[in-house]
Structure 1
């Protein structure tokens, strides 16, 4: 890898406006999500936080879409009524689009719902989609959106994440923060996909060489 390519990679990392974006339903605002934000702050992690009340209908704001694009790590907190909010589902669809964008990392957290229920849209998620389909019946464009939301749920729920059932939330939050910290600092971690054969050793060697002491540092590999 030449000097210009290294500089380009480092410049890309510095362009993030936020370290983390958290998508969540209001029901987790005053418990798990609030504790997660507090833990992120304690570790110096800059997280975008939308403190407005999430709406059941309407279009997601451009500010939120831009915040998702501008955040390196995207955390989705799935809860019992997450899928009942079209606002949350619009966020999720945007987050799913970012999975294939270089630099983004999507982390699902299953707060009071099982990963299987989210992936298969069963239980409360099935009930939510029955309501969405009834509401948008006859609107071809919105019915296409509903199918997109279903696909996004399956896609994100299939990613490696955290199932909080019967576990200490504080302990799991520390694990989440550690994963985020590793991602932001380019420390070697399990974030490298196991699907890419032979990539772990070269990536880890590169990460060791790219530890920066300040924002102006540039490392050159010969």
Structure 2
């Protein structure tokens, strides 16, 4: 993959994203993946999702950057995943980051059998065969894609047939946090986030006044700055 090979992996201490979502847009963008993204966002999990519908010949540098700077990659294998060269190039890059950065990789099998993904058989294999025909002159790339599918499908993951994602609405979420933002800013200033020193800060008060909510909001906001 030209894009990933030209992007050298350099050490980094802080991940910009908690999760990178790799998925076939035509299969899951408007259903499973959108619900998953909403659920992660509601938990204040910083998630990268590619909203770009039109792509060039290679995955963009912004995608390479997002993959390299994510702590976890969730790979949503769907029937058409292997028909997309961009999905497979993402997958190769993700596995590279697993080796170089110890990135956590979790496969999600959306209406496909894990063994079909691993062996490129069944409907999933049919999708890959279409792409294989287009790249039959590039045996090295085909080999890298096959190896990546086999490796990723062997990881522990989730089968969508065994769990359900409830569609969650964020409309009431902000109402639960009324007045918290000003407290968060005040505590941030006390913590001295830019300082090289270590600070300990206590939050006290009567039960039910929102101490845990404030602490959680602080954690969600600054946790990505620490290992």
What TM-score comes out, normalization by structure 1 length? 0.66
Conserved 8 A contact 1:133-1:143? no
Conserved 8 A contact 2:82-2:131? no
Matching of residues 131-146 of structure 1 within 5 Å = 131-137=130-136, 139=137, 142-146=138-142
Deviations 1:21-79 (A, max 9, x none): 00001110111111111111111111112111165x72111111111000001000001
Conserved 8 A contact 2:19-2:47? yes
Change in CA separation of 1:42 and 1:77 when aligned onto 2, cut-off 3 Å: same
DSSP 3-state at the match of 2:15: coil
Matching of residues 52-131 of structure 1 within 5 Å = 52-53=52-53, 55=55, 58-131=57-130
d(CA) in 2 for partners of 1:54, 1:119: 28
d(CA) in 2 for partners of 1:37, 1:129: 26
Matching of residues 181-220 of structure 1 within 5 Å = none
d(CA) in 1 for partners of 2:91, 2:54: 13
d(CA) in 2 for partners of 1:170, 1:150: 33
> Which residue does 1:35 correspond to in 2?
35
The list of structure 1 runs, each at least 4 consecutive aligned residues, that deviate by more than 3 angstroms after superposition, is 212-215
DSSP 3-state at the match of 1:169: coil
Deviations 1:139-176 (A, max 9, x none): 3xx321111011001101100000112532339xxxxx
d(CA) in 2 for partners of 1:121, 1:74: 21
CA RMSD of aligned residues (A): 2.7
User: In the alignment, which of 160, 166, 170 is matched to residue 170 of structure 1?
Assistant: 166
Bigger Rg, structure 1 or 2:
2
d(CA) in 2 for partners of 1:84, 1:170: 28
Change in CA separation of 1:132 and 1:143 when aligned onto 2, cut-off 3 Å: farther
d(CA) in 2 for partners of 1:18, 1:167: 25
The CA deviation at 1:100 is 1.8
Conserved 8 A contact 1:25-1:54? no
d(CA) in 2 for partners of 1:54, 1:124: 25
The CA deviation at 1:12 is 5.7
